[in-house]
Amino acid sequence: MIKVTFIEPGGQRHEVQTATGYDLMTVAVNNMIPGILGECGGNCSCGTCLVSLDSTWQGKAGNASELERSIISGYRSCSEDLRLACQIALTEDLDGLEISLLDEFY
Ligand code: FES
């Protein structure tokens, strides 16, 4: 089990314990985390799982693919901190991950 913390724009924190092997969007939706909709079911096509990672976690979470970056650019100017939660596979390396939720989907 690893711990993931989702942080709302207003600062409210939601800690979740999860097994590895899932993607971050699925964990968020299954735990009713606000601001992550996951409308396409994790197919990297809707962008409703957009989140921000601080620099501590960007390298550990891997790089966004070209397709992922193109979806992100539909919402915001693409930057290194922005990721689609459905494209982040949860591994032991991400134990303690902190995710900032964005205000697009509240
Ligand atoms: S759930 Fe649709 S892009 Fe992530």
Please give the pLDDT value at position 5. 98
Please give the pLDDT value at position 85. 98
The tens digit of pLDDT for each residue in 34-93 reads 999 999 999 999 999 999 999 999 999 999 999 999 999 988 877 889 999 999 999 999
| Distance of CA 26 from the midpoint of ligand 1 (Å) | 10
What does pTM read for this prediction?
A: 0.94
Strand, coil or helix: 15: strand
Q: Which of 103, 102, 65 is nearest to 87 (CA)?
A: 65
Residue 78 φ then ψ, to 5°: -65, 130
* pLDDT score of 103 more than 90: no
Show the ligand 1 pocket: residues with CB < 6 angstroms: 25, 38-40, 42, 44-49, 71, 84, 86
Q: What is the mean pLDDT of residues 91-106?
A: 93
Phi-psi region of 89 (alpha: psi -120 to 50; beta: other; left: phi over 0): beta
Beta strand 82-84 with 50-53: parallel, antiparallel or unpaired?
antiparallel
Burial class of residue 61 (count of CB atoms within 10 Å of its CB; 0-12, 13-18, 19+): buried
Task: Count H helices and E strands in the chain, helices first.
Answer: 3, 5
Please give the pLDDT value at position 45. 96
Mutate to test the pocket of ligand 1, among 86, 102, 105 (most ligand atoms within 8 A of CB): 86
Please give the pLDDT value at position 105. 80
